[in-house]
Amino acid sequence: MALIDRTFRERIVLVGTAVPPETLEDVDANLDELALLVDTAGADALARVVQRLNHPDPALFLGRGKAEELHQVCLGVDADTVVFDEELTPAQQRNLEKLLGRTAIDRTAVILDIFAQHAHTQQGKVQVELAQLRYRLPRLRGRQMSLSQQRGGVGAGGAIGNRGPGETQLEVDRRRLLRRIARLEHELADLRRTRTTELRSRRRSGLPTVTLVGYTNAGKSTLLNRLTAAGVLVEDRLFSTLDPTTRRLTLSGGEIVLLSDTVGFVRKLPHQLVAAFRSTLDEVASADLLVHVVDGSSPVAAAQVDAVREVLGEIGAGDVPTLIAYNKSDLAKPERPEPGSVVISAVTGDGIDSLLVAIADRIRSLNKVVELRVPYERGDVLAALHRAGEILVETHEDDATLVRARLDQADAARFGEFCVS
């Protein structure tokens, strides 16, 4: 994790816009979350500026009058940086910095900065650096941006938006940046092949895969630790987990599944991160079952559920079977839980038994019910069937055992010669 210089915390002004049908209440909720992101990045949000807009101004994003008002607010609180909740174009960013006399960045830059601080593994660091460079590339024009500004690499201190990749103190030009991106893409492709091999190995094990997904800070890592004693780092901060962890989990009926934790999602997850973390997110799309962990105590839980579903659709996991688990019941119960969901507390263990039963039921429902006729001399096949799936009915005829069993697709194909047509 990056070391944040606690002796200096940037002074931030947050900017939000209400574009119909958004209300000012919606903007306040969005800025509350942006304030948490800024705090996680190591800065303090001191003031807010909000404007109703039908569409952003192409030059300043805000209207000229509101931009002047923002300038006065920055002077009043002695702000170092202005953070917009919407993504700025490179031209808007340059024009705002010229008008305001201070750094102007957007929500995407803050999220990328947090990821830079929390990347631990080689793959995580490569993914974050690639996302940052893709974000910075169109913003080089008109800037004397050098790698020395970036404070020496992922994990270094510095201002929000400037932490991250660094090589030398030579000035970065577009050609050099493109070469660095190409090298990172090549390195990430190698890591992706290794990751794909690992996923294939898990598939060959025949064990169903269950992946925890959810909004950042919903309690996924706490739940993984509760279920498997995985020992994963748990912090009450956004994006404390970037690198996936997989453990074996024994369900209520004795079935064994592979349970994985993943990076938390967030509203307006930067597309640069989605692209760079594709190999990590592939694990979500290839899962047999997703457990969508929701902070049931959050007043905006429904909006967070929608945001996660939007990201799942973006990464090709929208059709993966999903079980919703409303977490943090020790703090508050969800107002309108969705049908078929479970309510739990990963901290106290409340509802965990019900969750395990629900996961087992969902896994079984994904399997195919087949009828097989196994000759008595093939006791090995009958034993293998008992190990592979759930035996629903077993009857004996003169020369064979008739079995009705629930099997996954791979096992159903493996025992195909004994299936009754």
DSSP annotation string for 369-386 = EEEEEEETT-HHHHHHHH
Banded pLDDT at 115 (limits 50, 70, 90): confident
* Location of each CATH 3.40.50.300 domain in the chain: 205-364
CA triple 58-60-62, angle to 5 deg: 100
**Do 83 and 103 meet the contact criterion of CB atoms below 8 Å apart?**
no
Q: What CATH number matches the domain at 1-203, 1.10.3730.10, 3.40.50.720, 3.40.50.11060, 3.30.300.130?
A: 3.40.50.11060
Whether residue 153 is predicted with pLDDT greater than 50 in this model: the reply is no
pLDDT, tens digit (0-9, with 9 covering 90-100), for 327-361: 999 999 888 889 999 999 999 999 999 999 999 98
DSSP annotation string for 161-210 = TT-S----SSBP-HHHHHHHHHHHHHHHHHHHHHHHHHHHHHHHTT--EE
Q: What percent of the chain has pLDDT over 90?
A: 46
Choice among 223-237, 358-372, 378-392 with the minimum mean pLDDT: 223-237
Q: Which three-class secondary structure state does DSSP give residue 257?
A: strand
Choice among 84-88, 297-301, 362-366, 407-411 with the minimum mean pLDDT: 407-411
Q: What is the pLDDT of residue 335?
A: 82
- Locate 16 and state its tokens: 């939000």
pLDDT, tens digit (0-9, with 9 covering 90-100), for 45-77: 999 999 999 889 999 999 999 999 999 999 999
Banded pLDDT at 212 (limits 50, 70, 90): very high
For the chain, the residue count is 421
Q: Which three-class secondary structure state does DSSP give residue 342?
A: strand
**Do 39 and 45 meet the contact criterion of CB atoms below 8 Å apart?**
yes
pLDDT, tens digit (0-9, with 9 covering 90-100), for 314-327: 888 998 999 999 99
* Location of each CATH 3.40.50.11060 domain in the chain: 1-203
Q: What is the pLDDT of residue 163?
A: 61
Overall pTM > 0.85: no
- The superfamily (CATH) of domain 205-364 is P-loop containing nucleotide triphosphate hydrolases (3.40.50.300)
Q: What percent of the chain has pLDDT over 70?
A: 85
